[in-house]
A and B are shown apart, each in its own frame.
Chain A
Amino acid sequence: MTTQITSARPAAGPRKGARRRPPASNATKVGRPSFAWALPAALFFALFAIAPLVMVAVLSFMTWDGISSPQFVGMDNWSRLMDDPVMLNSIWLTLLLTVLGVVIQTPLSIVLGVWAAGNQRNRAVLSVIYFIPLLLSATAVSVLWRALLDPNFGIPAEATWLFGDGNLFGEQATAIGVLAFVSTWQFTPFHTLIYQGAARAVPEVLYQAAEIDGAGRYRQFFHITLPQLRNSMITSMILMIVGGLTTFETVLILTQGGPGTDTTISAYYMYDKAFQGFDFGTGSAIALALVVAATIISLVVVRVSGYDKMRSTMEGVS
């Protein structure tokens, strides 16, 4: 028991033996992973992701109200969507909310993440409290904020100098502001967590060297920390973008796409068409368009950022 623990530690005594043993056992007993290993996962993926996706694609060329049998209508659903002002508006709103999310959350979570990467005790406690929103479901968060922002009995009633008559959900600009704020409140902790981990992984020697060279805290942050966070930033931003494109619960509970169609983002419009309007064909078309858009944008971000080259930062500072 004890020997195993010590042997697992590279720094401790019998380092050579510990290093030799695992490869040997790997080669003889386990063998190289074959395709068969991926089968269960692949089956599940095919059953629960690929098959529905294909069905949705087929359904987007049909008209179906959920009761009668579906009928092929060719490109009808798609061409109607192209001319639909609500659809066009929903794309614009989706992009706006996504960009707002990235622009607000990225700087915020970098600063907080780097701060939380410090090691004083009070930071640890504060960090834990700070991460609480991450543990709540989007539904709970939305219900909570809807109540907190009630114009007569919530925060706006107490701070009329800031909120005026408190009609936050009755006007487009403020309704979008609330949506952006609530998702920032909920999701910044997650991205902070990413940056915290990344900031902790920056080799201490870099800072020591910089200090010897006379760099101050801000110089260290901009010339060491930030470049070192580059890959984490890409990961975080891809998650934000894909998440932003498919935001749904917050809109469903906070605004129901309203007032009117002022906050009807694409994902909500899909739900509205399919499950409120019983137009499953159009709903499927919107869903498919969203999947395609999210995939393309993710690929573009990966490509532009050079993430796909899998460059390692372990080799040195680049």
Chain B
Amino acid sequence: MKTRARLPRLVACGATLTLALTLSACGDGDGGSGSDGKIHVLVYGDATNKVEKQLVEKFNKTSDVKVVLDTLPGADYQKKLQTIINTPQAPDVFFNWGGGSIKPFVKAGLLMPLDDFIEKNPDLENKFLPSVFNNAVVDGKPYGVPMRGTQPVLLFHNKKVLDEAGVKPPKTWDELLEAVSALKAKGVTPIALGGGDIWPTQMWFQYLYDRVAGPELFAKALGGDKSAWESPDSKKALDMIRELVDAGAFGKNYDSVKYTNAGSVQLVASGKAGFELMGSWYYSQQLTDHPDFAEKSLGYTAFPTVSGGKGDPKNVAGNTNNYYSVMKKTKHPEAVAEFLKLMYSDDFVKAQMDIGNLPTTTNTKDFLDQAADPKYSRFQYDLVADAPSFQLSWDQAYPQKASSDMHKAIQQFFNGQLDTDGFIKAMQALPTD
């Protein structure tokens, strides 16, 4: 079929463009804010909500202005948020990824700069790791307070596979290339990649650019100076990616593999691949899918250094953290400021660590020993705490509207549909504000 309902559905889909404005904001039903004397906090709906519910309950016990937690389930959070943000249904405080995910809202004058809050209570800035806090700074003003946990991207590996091929976890790019050919000779895919999702492919770009050129190149490009993409450093990073792909590091069918259906996860766990570059959530993913492998043979290291690269080898890339941003129109700014203080409280840190998140507050290190896997948590914490710069994932750093075209360019360069010049042109065509 492709059914009788398709055409009306398509029309209805178009209708959503306009009617979405009238829809209720929140999964829990009682959306809307301001008028009911409460603060509405909108968060991405997932397992972490139980921590947020605890915090809200605790806050409401002592506060006159009550907080209502609204959850918005599903991966389309950003898209749904954008449809309600400029309507009466908009929340007072909302979850986001910092960077480009809030830039359009800042530009539209919807968000409240937090410098007044911070002036009254400097802890709102001082209690967080600077490399993380800075990712919610737009045009020199802070627009977000970190919440939940940090997610640096790490190079994971299967210890057994590496041992059998006589390979040590690589510290430098050259060692990685050597490891690739050694693993290939053993008949395993050197690096597992869920290219079907594209964002895992992007991780290779954001790390290599940072190692080769330092964070400045990307910052420049994001600032609107598109010549950055044509620079020799940019071309060098692209050449290195090309070299790695052509060396067969990812096999031939990476675009048909997905991380989101656990295809690439299984590749590493089953010993069919050696490495995988993935966010720190990978550990708990393996622990869920393949507990035996995760406990015995899953290794992790930082991304290799690149000799002659301008970027500090200690730099990290990934999702820095999630943030709470505040709407300018909120009727209870004092209560909101009080609520945000909770984000660096001991209770918050403890509760997050209990469910495997790694908060980015300065007091986190006091609780590292209480984590599910203290060694792993400490490794991550030190990595992020020592990082001079934390490169936010490219598709989160750019405005949301650029992400689809960026993904296309990345996938096409990786599989050879675009050459270096084509990729540069595609990146230059992306909107930066």
A residues apposed to B, CB below 8 Å: 48-49, 51-53, 55-56, 59, 65-68, 101, 134, 143, 146-147, 149-153, 165-170, 183, 186-187, 190-191, 239-240, 242-244, 246-248, 256-261, 267, 270-272, 274-280, 283-284, 287-288, 290-291, 294
Q: Give the CA-CA distance A283 to B404 in the complex, in Å.
A: 14
Q: Give the CA-CA distance A190 to B82 in the complex, in Å.
A: 38
12 contacts between A and B (CB under 8 A): A52-B12, A55-B19, A67-B82, A146-B258, A152-B267, A169-B256, A190-B1, A248-B6, A260-B411, A276-B401, A278-B82, A287-B13
**Chain A contacts of B415 at CB under 8 A?**
170, 259-260
Contact with A along B377-403 (1 / 0, CB 8 A): 000000000000000000000001111
**Chain B contacts of A59 at CB under 8 A?**
17-18
Query: Which of B17, B19, B261, B401 is close to A284, meaning CB atoms less than 8 Å apart?
Result: B17
Query: Which of B1, B105, B108, B411 is close to A243, meaning CB atoms less than 8 Å apart?
Result: B1
**SS class, residues of chain B in contact with chain A:** helix
B400 touching A278, Cβ below 8 Å: yes
Within 8 A of A (CB), among B104-154: 104-105, 108, 110
B131 to chain A, nearest CB (A): 29
A191 touching B14, Cβ below 8 Å: no
**SS class, residues of chain A in contact with chain B:** helix
Q: Give the CA-CA distance A305 to B104 in the complex, in Å.
A: 52
Q: Give the CA-CA distance A97 to B51 in the complex, in Å.
A: 47
A190 touching B256, Cβ below 8 Å: no
On whether A65 and B14 interact (CB within 8 A), knowing A240-B2, A244-B2, the answer reads no
A101 touching B2, Cβ below 8 Å: yes
Closest partner residue, chain B, to A178 (CB atom) = B256
Query: Which of A147, A244, A287 is close to B261, meaning CB atoms less than 8 Å apart?
Result: A147
Which 5 interchain pairs have the tightest Cβ spacing?
A243-B2, A52-B15, A170-B255, A190-B1, A167-B253
B1 touching A66, Cβ below 8 Å: no
Query: A66, A186, A239, A279 — which one has the most chain B CB atoms within 10 A of its CB?
Result: A66
A170 touching B7, Cβ below 8 Å: no
B143 to chain A, nearest CB (A): 15
A247 touching B2, Cβ below 8 Å: yes
B61 interface residue (CB < 8 Å to A): no
A239 touching B253, Cβ below 8 Å: no
On whether A267 and B404 interact (CB within 8 A), knowing A165-B252, A187-B2, the answer reads no
A258 touching B255, Cβ below 8 Å: yes
Q: Give the CA-CA distance A124 to B257 in the complex, in Å.
A: 39
B2 touching A283, Cβ below 8 Å: no
Closest partner residue, chain B, to A273 (CB atom) = B404
**Chain B contacts of A276 at CB under 8 A?**
79, 400-401, 403-404
**Chain A contacts of B196 at CB under 8 A?**
146, 169, 256, 258
B2 touching A170, Cβ below 8 Å: no
**Chain A contacts of B110 at CB under 8 A?**
67
Q: Give the CA-CA distance A151 to B403 in the complex, in Å.
A: 27
**Chain B contacts of A280 at CB under 8 A?**
17
B256 touching A151, Cβ below 8 Å: yes
A150 touching B261, Cβ below 8 Å: yes
A128 to chain B, nearest CB (A): 18
Query: A147, A240, A277 — which one has the most chain B CB atoms within 10 A of its CB?
Result: A277
Q: Give the CA-CA distance A186 to B3 in the complex, in Å.
A: 11
Q: Give the CA-CA distance A283 to B18 in the complex, in Å.
A: 12
Q: Give the CA-CA distance A49 to B3 in the complex, in Å.
A: 17
B77 to chain A, nearest CB (A): 13
B401 touching A287, Cβ below 8 Å: no
B5 to chain A, nearest CB (A): 9
